[in-house]
Amino acid sequence: MTGTNKKDNVITLGPAHPLLIEPLQLKYYTKGDKVVNAELNIGYVHRGIEKAMEGRDFHQAVNLAERVCGICNASHALTYCVAAEGAIGIKPTDKADLIRVVLVELNRLHSHLLWLGAYVEAIGLAPLFVQSWKIREIILDATELISGSRVISSSIVVGGVRRNIDAELFKKVKGLLAKFEEEFRKIEPIFRNDSTIKKRSVGIGNLTKDIAIKTSAVGPVARGSGIEWDLRTTKQSGYRFFDYKPIVEDGCDCYARMLVRLDEVKPALEMVYEAMNMCQDYKDTLWIKPDKWPSAVGIGRVEAPRGELFYYAKGNGTNHLERVRIRTPTYANIPALLAMLPGCNAADVATILLTIDPCMACAERKMEV
């Protein structure tokens, strides 16, 4: 490898490691305590979901899309459905689009709280990890009220959504979110001001704006390096009802990437409130039934919690898919991760890795044919 020689130490992190929820192998080369180069090997949880989607009908494939990533399941369902609806030539109602926003933003809240807890646990702050995951449970309770399931909601379908949010449900969910907001305010200052978090994050894992652009970084990784890019600003799907301003930090380090996720909690919460409130003004149907199956291609792009998620769906004139192609944010952020590691201390490798919020099940979703 470039930048390495036989005198360099070789350290392997994974495929099994206490900080890794999913298996991957990060091999990095050091001179003393400094990392000089790194390479990432994946393929330990490959499931071939893209191939499994081929031959399924448009509706069945939603279940597979949701299982590309359990944490971001609503984002995957929405992105696939946008692509499938583009291929079929249908458009969901305004009410269905608003309910989709509620589900995706709740997904974002629970994903960010999960990540914040995992990150501080890696630093050594176990009590803060417990508190983060404790209040994340409130978001899962709200998701269960709306969809009937705590994790994989299975509410977003091709043509719309399965369930309505009526006035009574709105009141119950609003009560849970008020409790979440109150609890989150208690721990938020600790993330911002704790000296241990700052010592392990500020100036570590540097990714300059130029390198972030060059490596095509997405999501909080890109926004933590000063790149103002968030697909919610493009007014796609239900986001056309909102004027969203991306959360951007210019620290270009682990601390900046943490702040982006921390600061995205409030606007995501506000969007959930607003979308549920707007739902009450619409009497639209929740689902549009497809009446034709053309040989066409559809594309879906949605801002998932980890960054830009892309789906390509192709029909063949029947109700079955001919081809599906998925580009996930973890896969897109791997070049950025490898650019952050050279020059860092070996002790910081694991925490730098966590700042891209790696989901290897996402990254390994496809089968080459």
Distance separating alpha carbons of residues 95 and 160, to the nearest angstrom: 9
Give pLDDT, residue 367.
40
Is residue 200 in a domain? yes
Q: How many domains does the chain have?
A: 1
Is residue 2 in a domain? no
Give pLDDT, residue 17.
74
Distance separating alpha carbons of residues 89 and 182, to the nearest angstrom: 43
Give pLDDT, residue 6.
56
Which domain does 346 fall in, by range?
A: 9-363
Is residue 328 in a domain? yes
Is residue 227 in a domain? yes
| Structure tokens, 136 | 């994340």
Is residue 3 in a domain? no
Give pLDDT, residue 13.
79
Is residue 299 in a domain? yes
Looking up residue 219, the CATH number of its domain turns out to be 1.10.645.10
Give pLDDT, residue 24.
82
Give pLDDT, residue 51.
87
Q: Rounded to the nearest 5°, which phi and psi values hold at 153?
A: -75, -35
32: left (phi over 0), alpha (psi -120 to 50) or beta: left
Is residue 117 in a domain? yes
Give pLDDT, residue 366.
52
Is residue 305 in a domain? yes
Give pLDDT, residue 262.
97
Each residue's pLDDT expressed in tens, for the chain with a length of 369 residues: 555 565 678 888 778 777 777 788 888 888 888 988 988 888 888 778 888 898 889 999 999 999 998 899 999 999 999 999 999 999 999 999 999 999 999 999 999 999 999 999 989 899 999 999 999 999 999 999 999 998 899 999 999 999 999 999 999 999 999 999 999 999 999 999 999 999 999 999 999 999 999 999 999 999 999 999 999 999 989 999 999 999 999 999 999 999 999 999 999 999 999 999 999 988 889 999 988 888 899 999 999 999 999 999 999 999 889 999 999 999 999 999 999 999 999 889 889 999 999 888 788 765 443
Contacts for 40-49: CB closer than 8 Å, 24+ residues apart: 40/334, 40/337, 40/338, 42/360, 42/363, 42/364, 43/364, 44/15, 44/360, 44/364, 45/360, 45/361, 45/364, 46/364, 46/367, 47/361, 47/364, 47/365, 48/366, 48/367, 49/326, 49/365, 49/366, 49/367
